[in-house]
Structure 1
Amino acid sequence: MGAEPEMAFRLAADSVLLLHLAFIAFVLAGGLLALRWRWAPLLHLPAAAWGVFIELSGRICPLTPLENLLRARAGEVGYAGGFVEHYLLALIYPEGITQGVQGVLAGIVLGVNAGVYAWVWRRRSRSRR
């Protein structure tokens, strides 16, 4: 019976991890949803702005401390830094994250989304003709 609460906290931490990953994917590619739903930018643009803000400000997304808290409650060790630094940059940039790398990531978010919205706008413009 003693392992049940720890397992629940671990599942909750893993759920936060998946939510975090889904949010990052939405920030990067959520503009594509505007091809299907005209209201999608109302959700996506604030999310993308938040992602850019977090990267440029050097802050940590609030989901990271939540995941760490849940992992600690599960008897696991949390991690220092942010989600991107811990999970993604460890694969891409093994030496760690710097302010410059965060600026590059913010630029990628802005560039990808500018390209997606330009494509959506052109496609909609053509369909109106």
Structure 2
Amino acid sequence: MVFPALIFRAIETIAVTVHFAFIGYVVLGGFLAWHWRRTIVLHLFAVAWGFGSVLVGYDCPLTDLENWARGMAGGPPLPSSGFIAYYITGVLYPVDAVNLVRLLVAALVLVSWAGFVLRRRAAVPVSHS
């Protein structure tokens, strides 16, 4: 039946889209917190989850959702290497640059956090009592 397969392909597409958005937020969300300060806590959790899934290797529920939808639509699951290896590594940067890209992402996150702290300190009035 074609109709159910279309629904599962739509779920797959939504999972992929949310996954890319999440990765974008992990990389750049600290800069959003410069303007929307309260989002820094959400960014801390997103970075902990994102870095943990890459470094520790625990399963991502978005990858699980995509694999489920792919299977229900009659397609193959993602390779065991996961979402980033399938959609990003070798597509947006060469495979042999993985460690450099990870280092650059970590540096970008740290720069965004340092900027957040500096901007926060600059915004807090100094008491002269």
Instruction: Give 1:90 deviation, angstroms.
Output: 2.6
Alignment of 1:1-129 (within 5 A): 2-80=1-79, 81-91=81-91, 92-94=93-95, 101=98, 104-128=100-124
Q: Does the 8 Å CA contact 1:68/1:78 hold for their aligned counterparts?
A: yes
Partner SS for 1:79: coil
RMSD: 2.1
Please report the TM-score for the alignment, with normalisation by the length of structure 2.
0.82
Question: Are residues 94 and 105 of structure 1, via their aligned partners in 2, closer, same or farther at CA, if it must alter by over 3 Å?
Answer: closer
Please state how far the C-alpha of 1:109 moved relative to its aligned partner.
3.3
State the shift of 1:104 in Å. 4.7
Residues 90-115 of structure 1, C-alpha deviations (whole Å, 9 max, x = no match): 312357x9xxx3x5554333211110
**Cα distance in 1 between the residues matched to 2:119 and 2:13:** 38
| Deviation readout 1:20-70 (Å, 9 max, x if unpaired) | 000000101111121222211111101101111111113442311220110
Q: Decide which structure has the larger Cα Rg and report it.
A: 2
Instruction: Assess, with a 3 A threshold, how the Cα gap between structure 1 residues 34 and 94 changes in structure 2: closer, same or farther.
Output: closer
Instruction: Give the unaligned 5+ runs of structure 2.
Output: none
Query: Which one is further off, 106-115 or 9-18?
Result: 106-115
Provide the identity percentage.
33
